Amino acid sequence: MALNYLSVLDTAKQGNWDTAHQQIQPYSDTMACLIHGYLHRLEGDLGNAEYWYKRADSSMPTNTLEQEWQRLYALLDDTSL
C-alpha cells in the first residue's frame, strides 16, 4: 500500500506528530524528505529538519510552519489530479 502524503500532513495538522513521523519515517523519496523536514521543524528540531530538506535537494524554508504545510499540501494536491 502506497503512503498517502496528504494523510500524513493532515495527521500532523491534527497534532499527532508522533503518528505522522512514524508514517513518513520508512520513506526517502523527495516528497517524503520534504515532509520529514517539515515534521522536524514542527517538532523544533531544526538541525534534523535541515538534514531532511537537504536530502530533498532543498534548503530549509524560512516560511512559517503554516505556510510550509500549505505549500506541501498544494504540491501534493496538484500532483494527485
Sorting pLDDT into bands at 50, 70 and 90, what band is 1?
very low
CA torsion through residues 80, 78, 28, 32, sign: negative
Domain of 50 in residue numbering reads as 5-79
Compute the distance between CA of residue 24 and CA of residue 12 in angstroms, rounded to an integer: 11
Judging by beta carbons within 10 Å of its beta carbon (0-12, 13-18, 19+), is residue 35 exposed, middle or buried?
Answer: buried
For the chain, the domain total comes to: 1
Specify the range with the lowest mean pLDDT, choosing from 29-33, 48-52, 73-77: 73-77
How does pLDDT run across 4-48, given as a tens digit for each residue?
A: 999 999 999 999 999 999 999 999 999 999 999 999 999 999 999
61 half-sphere exposure, CB direction, 13 A CA radius: 19
- Cα dihedral sign, 24-47-75-57: negative
Q: Provide the whole-model pTM.
A: 0.91
pLDDT band at 81 (very low <50, low <70, confident <90, very high): very low
